[in-house]
Structure 1
Amino acid sequence: MPHTAPHYLHRLPNLPLSNAWEEITASDMVEVELLGKVAAGLPIEACPDQASVLIPSRMVRRNTYALKVCGDSMIDCNIFDGDVIIIERQESAENGETAVVLINNQEVTLKKLYIEKSGVRLQPANETMAPIFLKNDDIQVLGLVMGVVRQPAQAA
């Protein structure tokens, strides 16, 4: 069976995430840490792995790492189960940004973050899934999505 190369999607600035992606070619590759899995669905326990992934150097910023996506809650932002997302480590997010969020110091999830009067709403990008409502003190932003590495579907 022929092996096909992964697709690299780089985030374009100042656009909604659902259509902010530009496919880039695999040249000048750099290794970044693959720190584990992130839930795109129900939050999962934070359990770091120690691995790495090769990505194009233009997807790397100052403090870049990767996480493997588990679940379908971000499909309307073109992020699918099994994708590897490229994250820029940051401790804050703008309203509506897609962020990796630590909940109660134990669970990690990928959602759109909205700051509301009563606290924080973590909104999936999948109309079949409900948002998660939390107090500001219950969450910590770990980073923002800057890119996606998608393995091509394997032929059966």
Structure 2
Amino acid sequence: MPEVIPQFLHRRPNLPLAEAWEAIEDDDLNRDELVEIPLLGRVSAGLPIEACLDAGSIHVPSRMVRRNTYALKVRGDSMIDCNIFDGDVIIIERQESAENGETAVVMINDQEVTLKKLYIEKSGVRLQPANESMAPIYLKNSDIQVLGLVMGVVRQTGLAA
């Protein structure tokens, strides 16, 4: 069975998400304390999926953790142009609002959860995938609730034994 080695990508501030990721190198990992955060379930990077909580946890470098940090496993390919892929675990900072263009975990109609770039427009909200082959989702402001913003990615990389 191949060994699974996680790669930790930390978000650098004030950059577009596609360019913001900085890998935490092994040397830095040895100095960084690993802390446990809750892994609360899955989020769709595609069509929204029903929100369902799982109880689990994941260990990440302490620099990736703030006050209200949790993790979600990504399902789908709608955020590939932001370097977030199917199977990645995203590190989320719990927040109830997002700036225009930020990548957010959004609950739709208190039922479904999705990961998209959020844009506030005159007619409501546009949830924009970071994948040219997928269409945006248009909703009223009252239909969505921001659950948090993406602050990091944990990518599992399999190596031959």
Shorter-chain TM-score range: over 0.9
**1:102 matched to 2:107:** yes
**1:57 matched to 2:68:** no
**1:42 matched to 2:47:** yes
More helix by share: 2
Please state whether the residue corresponding to 1:19 is helix, strand or coil.
helix
**Structure 2 stretches lacking a partner, 5+ long:** none
**1:5 matched to 2:10:** no
Moved over 6 A (4+): none
Match of 1:130 in 2: 135
Size of the aligned set, in residue pairs, is 156
Which whole-Å CA distance do the structure 2 matches of 1:76 and 1:48 have between them?
27
Percent identity between matched residues is 79
**Structure 1 stretches lacking a partner, 5+ long:** none
Provide, for residues 20-74 of structure 1, a one-character-per-residue CA deviation record: whole Å limited to 9, x for no partner. Answer: 0000133310000000000000000000000000000000000000000000000
Which letter does structure 2 place at the counterpart of 1:68?
K
**Structure 2 counterpart of 1:79, from 63, 66, 84:** 84
Please state whether the residue corresponding to 2:142 is helix, strand or coil.
helix
Shift of 1:81: 0.1
**Structure 2 counterpart of 1:146, from 140, 151, 160:** 151
Which whole-Å CA distance do the structure 1 matches of 2:100 and 2:89 have between them?
24
- Does the 8 Å contact 2:4/2:158 carry over to 1? no
Root-mean-square deviation (Å) = 1.3
Shift of 1:153: 3.9
Which whole-Å CA distance do the structure 1 matches of 2:6 and 2:39 have between them?
16
Q: Which moved more, 1:1-10 or 1:57-66?
A: 1-10
TM (norm. structure 2) is: 0.94
Which letter does structure 2 place at the counterpart of 1:151?
Q
TM (norm. structure 1) is: 0.97
**Structure 2 counterpart of 1:32, from 31, 37, 50:** 37
Shift of 1:2: 4.4
Please state whether the residue corresponding to 1:6 is helix, strand or coil.
strand
